């Protein structure tokens, strides 16, 4: 990719970014961006009192400037969706999980292909889960002000400080991407990062919109009897539906601790429910009867649709084998100069051990792809030889 992206020039334009506040202007710029090899993307949004993010700004940087797209004014995003679909234009983000979620919510589409500079930094050994400011300072020796991190991005007009802060969030991404891509190519890691970013896109859509498996996140509840697990399953699924309907955060309906308290103490009436920790009277008045209804129905629900068990914590007998496998992964990460957390995650080891079937193990999906050849096969071989 030889197209010139000069970060000093983009840094200068961030002082006066171009505002895009109407459909015609957005369409015109999207047509220009269709001809470029890459653009940088970022978003600003508010998500304090809502379940869904409220978009406040979309930032873009190209080869000549920084742009602020105003979601409070734009109505027709079709040209941007077409840009998102263009496989010839690489979309560069940093720590793009929440940005991707916002795009999917706004447009029903995800940008592709993408390049995430945070992911690439982990592969290059620059640092794991590096924040944008730290990455810019590390790679370009530029210190960024964090003063507008908690700004109100729905206010209009934005201050000059807000505009510059938002524009700088994309100004450095093109050159960071180009430098990282060059180093990844030299180290033979290009396909690894492509796999990882493709996986990020696959995981962005909510694969459990009805919340029917959310209860399995409560690992501390694995000992509960089936009717209590069924109650936990049904209550968390109800909470997911209600949060979406009311567009409120989960803790506005029921906190996680409250859910566990309810299924453990099993209140019989509204008075008993109101005395539980983390339950507010407003919640009791609004949803108390519904909550009690799910408890009453739990025995029938457990019989009619037995809940999948919650994974119990791994036995203490795995402590030593886990240390051996983690040490192998750390050694390999040092050899490759890659962040250990990128090479092998705790959940990957957990999944590997849980594949055991009569003493035999197999690689879980999370240790397939590039990880299989680099670390997965040797971990599997070592695990088979360990006495547990």
> What are the residue numbers of the active site?
42, 44, 99, 165, 169
> Residue 180, class by beta-carbon neighbours within 10 Å (0-12 exposed, 13-18 middle, 19+ buried)?
buried
Identify whether the C-beta of residue 133 lies closer than 8 Å to the C-beta of residue 106.
no
3-state secondary structure 293-360: HHHHHHHHHHHHCCCCCCCCCCCHHHHHHHHHHHHHHHHHHHHHCCCHHHHCCHHHHHHHHCCCECCE
How far apart (Å, rounded) are the C-alpha atoms in residues 124 and 128? Answer: 9
Q: How many CA atoms lie within 13 A of 201 on its CB side?
A: 19
List the one residue out of 337, 367, 344 whose CA is nearest residue 127: 337
Residue whose structure tokens are 């190519």: 185
Distances (CA, A) of 283 to 66, 231, 270: 45, 18, 11
- Of 347, 352, 346, whose CA–CA distance to 388 is shortest? 352
Tokens 């407003």 label which residue?
A: 282
User: Encoding tokens for residue 137?
Assistant: 């300072």
Q: Tell me the three state secondary structure of residue 93.
A: strand
Please provide the DSSP assignment of 184-222 as one string. Answer: HHHTT-HHHHHHHHHHHHHHSS-S-TT-TTGGGG-GGGT
The residues that bridge with 54 in the sheet, in sequence order, are 46
To 5 degrees, how large is the angle CA 23–CA 29–CA 35?
140
Name, in order, each residue with C-beta under 8 angstroms of 158's C-beta and a sequence gap of 6 or more. 57, 68, 151, 166
């Amino acid at each position: 990719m030889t197209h010139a992206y000069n970060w000093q020039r983009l840094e200068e334009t961030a002082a006066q970014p171009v505002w895009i506040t109407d459909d015609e202007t957005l369409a015109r710029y999207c047509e220009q961006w269709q001809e470029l090899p890459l653009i940088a993307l970022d978003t600003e949004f508010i998500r304090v009192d809502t379940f869904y993010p409220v978009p406040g700004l979309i930032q873009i940087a190209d080869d000549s400037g920084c742009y602020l797209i105003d979601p409070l004014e734009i109505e027709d995003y079709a040209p941007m969706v077409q840009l998102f679909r263009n496989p010839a234009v690489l979309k560069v983000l940093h720590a793009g999980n929440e940005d991707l979620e916002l795009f999917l919510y706004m447009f029903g589409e995800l940008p592709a292909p993408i390049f995430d500079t945070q992911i690439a930094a982990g592969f290059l050994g620059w640092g794991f889960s590096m924040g944008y400011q730290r990455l810019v300072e590390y790679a370009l020796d530029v210190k960024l002000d964090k003063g507008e991190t908690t700004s109100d991005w729905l206010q209009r007009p934005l201050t000059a400080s807000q505009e510059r802060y938002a524009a700088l969030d994309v100004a450095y991404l093109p050159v960071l991407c180009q430098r990282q891509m060059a180093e990844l190519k030299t180290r033979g890691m290009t396909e690894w990062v492509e796999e990882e970013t493709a996986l990020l896109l696959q995981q962005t859509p909510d694969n459990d919109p009805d919340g029917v498996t959310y209860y399995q996140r409560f690992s501390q509840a694995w000992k509960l009897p089936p009717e209590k697990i069924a109650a936990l399953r049904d209550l968390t699924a109800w909470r997911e539906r209600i949060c979406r309907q009311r567009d409120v955060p989960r803790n506005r309906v029921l906190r996680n601790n409250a859910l566990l308290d309810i299924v453990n103490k099993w209140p019989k009436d509204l008075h008993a429910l109101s005395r539980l920790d983390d339950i507010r009277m407003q919640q009791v008045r609004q949803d108390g009867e519904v909550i009690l209804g799910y408890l009453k129905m739990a025995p029938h629900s457990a019989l009619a649709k037995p809940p999948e068990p919650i994974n119990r914590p791994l036995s203490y007998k795995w402590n030593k084998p886990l240390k051996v496998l983690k040490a192998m992964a750390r050694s390999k990460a040092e050899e490759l100069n890659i962040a250990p957390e990128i090479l092998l995650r705790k959940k990957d080891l957990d999944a590997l051990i849980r594949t055991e079937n009569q003493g035999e193990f197999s690689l879980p999906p999370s240790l397939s792809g590039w990880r299989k050849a680099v670390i997965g096969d040797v971990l599997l071989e070592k695990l088979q030889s360990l006495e547990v």
